[in-house]
Amino acid sequence: MTRGIFITFEGGEGAGKSTQIRRLAERLRADGRDVVLTREPGGSPGAESIRALLLNGEADRWSPLTEALLMNAARRDHIERVIAPALARGAVVLCDRFADSTRAYQGAGGAVDPAVIAQLETAVVGEVRPDLTLIFDLPVEDGLRRALSRNGGEERFESKGAAFHERLRAAYLAIAAEEPQRCVLIDATASLDAVEVAVRAAVDPRLGA
């Protein structure tokens, strides 16, 4: 079976992932590639319904463990209906957040036992693991300032406080250090164009470009 390539974008709030993933998708499509641009939580109709439950309401609407279960329920539907079929036909799948977000937000941020997060990840993700993960890193206050300046109302996680966001940043840096074959750290404090160059340098060799 042909397998495409699965690339995920990760980082804290307002790191610039969504901007850069759109730029990358446009460039790869212009090169004639079959690109699926998707996101989590969400990406399939069922998962988008779960997204609405997760991102709206009070910061303490769900416990961290309940969040982890909902994120994984959404992820399983997204994998079955969108990601796995696209990879099977050989597409480039670009996903704005994936399982590392659960490790960081619900694990490190929400203090859910890492063993539970890992068990859920094994059961839900199985073999559909990213080939490449770009981790966008910038100081917490810069990211929150950017996120709040463009806000559309889905702000449950942005309202969780600075200490929560510092734990996220540390967790992402730890993931990048633990899995250097899969993860590339991107300096997200740079200009939009400079970040795009860094994304290109990380992605193109994996595509044989």
Q: Which residues bind ligand T5A (CB under 6 A)?
A: 11, 13-19, 40-41, 55, 71, 96-97, 101-102, 105-106, 146-147, 149-150, 154, 157, 191-192, 195
Write the DSSP symbol of residue 63: -
Strands (E), 157-203: 183-187
Q: Cβ 206 to ligand T5A, closest distance in Å? A: 21
Q: Cβ 66 to ligand T5A, closest distance in Å? A: 12
**Amino acid identity at 44:** S
Looking at beta carbons, which residue is closest to ligand T5A? 16
Nearer to ligand T5A, 45 or 90 (CB): 45
Q: Cβ 192 to ligand T5A, closest distance in Å? A: 5
Nearer to ligand T5A, 6 or 105 (CB): 105
Question: Strand 5-11 relative to strand 183-187: parallel, antiparallel, unpaired?
Answer: unpaired
Nearer to ligand T5A, 32 or 153 (CB): 153
Minimal CA–CA distance to 116: which of 66, 166, 76, 164? Answer: 66
Nearer to ligand T5A, 33 or 146 (CB): 146
Nearer to ligand T5A, 63 or 89 (CB): 63
Alpha-carbon distance of 54 to 67, in angstroms, equals 7
Alpha-carbon distance of 97 to 99, in angstroms, equals 7
Instruction: Name residue 184's beta-bridge partners.
Output: 134
Instruction: Name residue 5's beta-bridge partners.
Output: 92
Instruction: Name residue 43's beta-bridge partners.
Output: none
Q: Cβ 133 to ligand T5A, closest distance in Å? A: 13
Q: Cβ 91 to ligand T5A, closest distance in Å? A: 20
CA distances from 159 to 56, 59, 67, 155 (A): 11, 7, 15, 6
